[in-house]
């Protein structure tokens, strides 16, 4: 990407988009376009068409999406499918119409089959049944991957897809019902400590295994791949390491210096048993994560304290 290139970061106020925006600024890119959802509703076809026709960005990072944890995904199934399809359809199609040089579409590890072999390789896509609770979101993201590939095949567009593992970091969502597991545990344990509560209830058995990547590391990987990756299909972004939800909860408990007890509620859903990314393709290109989990949780907690 040329330093004077016009770059549109869709979803710049979210955790992922804001991390990408900060990374680009740090690397010296100044011609950045960002619109809030109130300024530009990416679900609105005409608004997106007008925006691309007027701005004509050279590069696009498509990090805008309707996202949430297991409860939100399972509750707002129609919303997750409809809104994500609309956002990516509008952005990808208009990127083609206005001659965008390169677009990066960000998906999610939930695109892989529920019982796929571990670790998850890129070629496991569409080889089995999806996990029910986040199936609508996953189907939307799979459609986005296939759309990028289809526009590459039919029109020669350089549209690439990256699949991040579970993310956390600055600007995360700490909503009691709609957040992901790591920020949800930070909030729960923080509030229990503040209120002198003797125990914290954690959803599920604690046995599922998850991999976590700090969002600023993801932004670094996206920037790296925007320079070097120009292939069809997708590429995983992760650490290549996972741990149980129980061990995650214990680590957060330790970082927050909470001395109460953790109780696991097995009546609540566990979701997919394991979701570890195979990141050999990414490592072979020369990128590895820098921020380990404990340090990342400390940084995220400082951000949580400053914002809440």
Q: What are the residue numbers of the active site?
A: 137
- Bridge partners of 106, per DSSP, are 162
Is 129 among the annotated ligand-binding positions?
A: no
Is 165 among the annotated ligand-binding positions?
A: yes
H/E run at residue 23: helix 15-26
Is 260 among the annotated ligand-binding positions?
A: no
- Separation CA 205–CA 265 (nearest Å): 6
Is 119 among the annotated ligand-binding positions?
A: no
- Contacts with 177 (C-beta within 8 Å, 6 or more apart), sequence order: 69, 71, 72
Is 307 among the annotated ligand-binding positions?
A: no
Is 99 among the annotated ligand-binding positions?
A: no
Is 101 among the annotated ligand-binding positions?
A: no
- Separation CA 130–CA 170 (nearest Å): 29
Is 17 among the annotated ligand-binding positions?
A: yes
Is 141 among the annotated ligand-binding positions?
A: yes
What's the token pair of residue 290? 């820098």
Is 13 among the annotated ligand-binding positions?
A: yes
Is 241 among the annotated ligand-binding positions?
A: no
What's the token pair of residue 46? 């005409």
What's the token pair of residue 100? 């965008």
Is 15 among the annotated ligand-binding positions?
A: yes
Is 236 among the annotated ligand-binding positions?
A: no
Is 166 among the annotated ligand-binding positions?
A: yes
Is 180 among the annotated ligand-binding positions?
A: yes
Is 109 among the annotated ligand-binding positions?
A: yes
User: Residue 272 gets which letter from DSSP?
Assistant: S
Question: Inter-axis angle of helices 77-97 and 135-155, to 10 degrees?
Answer: 10
Q: Give the number of other Cβ atoms within 10 Å of residue 30's Cβ.
A: 9
Helix (H, G, I), strand (E, B), or coil: what is residue 141?
Answer: helix
Q: Which residue from 59, 62, 144 is spatially nearest to 101, judged by alpha carbons?
A: 59
- Separation CA 156–CA 218 (nearest Å): 27
- Bridge partners of 103, per DSSP, are 60, 159
Helix (H, G, I), strand (E, B), or coil: what is residue 161?
Answer: strand
- Separation CA 287–CA 234 (nearest Å): 16
Q: Read out DSSP for 93-106?
A: HHHHHTT-SEEEEE
Which residues are documented as binding site? 11-17, 106-109, 141, 164-167, 180, 188, 203, 210, 270
Annotated binding residues for NADP(+): 11-17, 106-109, 141, 164-167, 180
The annotated binding site for substrate is made up of 188, 203, 210, 270
């Amino acid at each position: 990407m040329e330093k004077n290139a016009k770059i549109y970061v869709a979803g710049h106020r979210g955790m992922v988009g804001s991390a990408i925006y900060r990374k680009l600024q740090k690397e010296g890119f100044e011609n950045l376009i960002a619109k809030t959802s109130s300024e530009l509703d990416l679900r609105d076809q005409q608004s997106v068409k007008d925006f691309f026709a007027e701005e004509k960005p050279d590069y696009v990072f498509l990090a805008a999406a309707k996202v949430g944890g297991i409860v939100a995904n399972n509750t707002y199934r129609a919303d997750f499918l409809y809104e994500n399809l609309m956002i990516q359809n509008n952005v990808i199609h208009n990127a083609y119409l206005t001659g965008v040089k390169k677009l990066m579409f960000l998906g999610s590890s939930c695109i892989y089959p529920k019982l796929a072999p571990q670790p998850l390789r890129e070629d496991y896509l569409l080889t089995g049944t999806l996990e029910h609770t986040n199936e609508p979101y996953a189907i939307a993201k799979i459609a986005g991957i296939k759309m990028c590939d289809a526009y590459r095949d039919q029109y020669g567009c350089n549209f690439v897809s990256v699949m991040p593992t579970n993310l956390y970091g600055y600007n995360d969502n700490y909503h009691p019902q709609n957040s992901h597991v790591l920020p949800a545990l930070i909030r729960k344990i923080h509030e229990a400590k503040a209120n002198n509560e003797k125990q914290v209830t954690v959803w599920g058995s604690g046995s599922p295994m998850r991999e976590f990547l700090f969002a600023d590391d993801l932004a670094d990987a996206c920037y790296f791949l925007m320079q070097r990756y120009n292939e069809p299909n997708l590429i995983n972004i992760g650490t290549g390491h996972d741990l149980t939800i129980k061990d995650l909860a214990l680590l957060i408990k330790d970082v927050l210096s909470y001395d109460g007890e953790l109780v696991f509620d097995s009546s609540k859903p566990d979701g997919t048993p394991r979701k570890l990314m195979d990141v050999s393709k990414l490592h072979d290109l020369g990128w590895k994560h820098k921020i380990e989990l404990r340090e990342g949780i400390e940084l995220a907690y400082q951000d949580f304290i400053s914002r809440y």
